[in-house]
Amino acid sequence: MRTNYTVSLEKIAKELSLKTLYSPAPLSEIMISSNEVNRPGLQMAGYFEYFDACRIQIIGKSEESFIKRFTAEKAEDRIREFFSHKPAAVVVCRGLEFGETYLEIAKEFEIPVLKTEESTSGFSSALIALLNLNLAPRITQHGVLVEVYGEGILLMGDSGVGKSETAIELVKRGHRLIADDAVEIRRVSDKSLVGTAPDNIRHFIELRGIGIINASRIFGAGAVKLTEKIDLVINIEQWDVSKQYDRIGLEKQTTEILGLAVPSLTIPVKPGRNLAVIIEVAAMNNRQKKLGYNAAEDLLKKLGMTDDDSTESEVDPFF
């Protein structure tokens, strides 16, 4: 999955504790644009068709043992040919020694070489996760993101409907705030969305009549979180007496964000409704649905009603 975003090699090295063996420029100036990585076994064998130079190349035990099968002169030729294709960067895993001759070749072609003590598979997984997060497609959405019982809940609605006040109530009840007003959403995989707050407004909340507060300073570090996956979207709107709202829970609503359909609910508000409690219940109910239990379907089954012959009007008397 290609994106137009980049991440610096400095950030990658810092996050994954990489040691720099050689870099032709400051790591902060070397940008990585591909979220895919490569183990250059085929390239060591001389096969460069479909080789993507934008990818970070990872060298582990297999590549090392393969290159050792050649004579010193032949091995040097293979390494030289590999570096001549200008890979974005090379990372040597398991603390393997990267010979001075090979390092001189890297310097000749100005290819950054880094090193880690981690196993090749473990490092590859961590690197891919980091690249997916930093290079993911993203949008900024007006709303509030909170974590409630481990579920990431994105609150959406018009300005002044009560999203921030509800977030404060949830924080006071032991849940955590991720972002208020602007939520930066990233599609980190084909199934997952992750939300965070822009750096300049992180942990700040606007409360009309009070002003700006810092949730971390007032409620403590345990009341906030940097990122959270988005499991459920809740649209908050003023109660409209002419509108029919879902009273049973059989309707499967979704909201599309970055091409992914996220389960969603529409919750009307009016005086007397405790939004924080409703959202807590919605979070727990969403988790139960993911575990395979749907209370509405269970009730209809106990009442002897099937999907074919049950309608909202038939069920209304029980609510």
Q: Give pLDDT tens digits for 21-39.
A: 999 999 999 999 999 999 9
We find that the CATH architecture of domain 138-302 is 3-Layer(aba) Sandwich (3.40)
289 is known as an active-site residue: no
3-state SS, residue 124: helix
Task: Outline where DSSP puts E strands in 188-224.
Answer: 193-196, 204-207, 211-214
Whether 129 and 15 have beta carbons less than 8 Å apart is answered as no
Whether 154 and 141 have beta carbons less than 8 Å apart is answered as yes
Q: Tell me the pLDDT tens digit for each residue of 104-138.
A: 999 999 999 999 999 999 999 999 999 998 999 99
151-157 vs 176-187, strand pairing mode: unpaired
So where are the chain's domains? 7-134, 138-302
pLDDT at 307 over 80: no
Stretch 217-244: mean pLDDT:
91
| Region of 33 on the Ramachandran plot (φ > 0 left; ψ -120 to 50 alpha; else beta) | alpha
Q: How far apart are CA 131 and CA 292, in angstroms?
A: 32
Stretch 148-175: mean pLDDT:
93
The catalytic position among 55, 115, 138, 163 is 163
163 is known as an active-site residue: yes
175 is known as an active-site residue: no
142 is known as an active-site residue: yes
pTM > 0.85: yes or no: no
Q: How far apart are CA 218 and CA 225, in angstroms?
A: 14
Q: Report CA torsion sign: 298, 148, 159, 134.
A: negative
Residue 311 banded pLDDT, cuts 50, 70, 90? very low
The catalytic position among 61, 142, 172, 217 is 142
**What residue has token string 């990267």?**
98
Stretch 7-29: mean pLDDT:
96
The catalytic position among 247, 252, 273, 290 is 247
Whether 130 and 209 have beta carbons less than 8 Å apart is answered as no
**CATH number of the domain at 7-134, please?**
3.40.1390.20
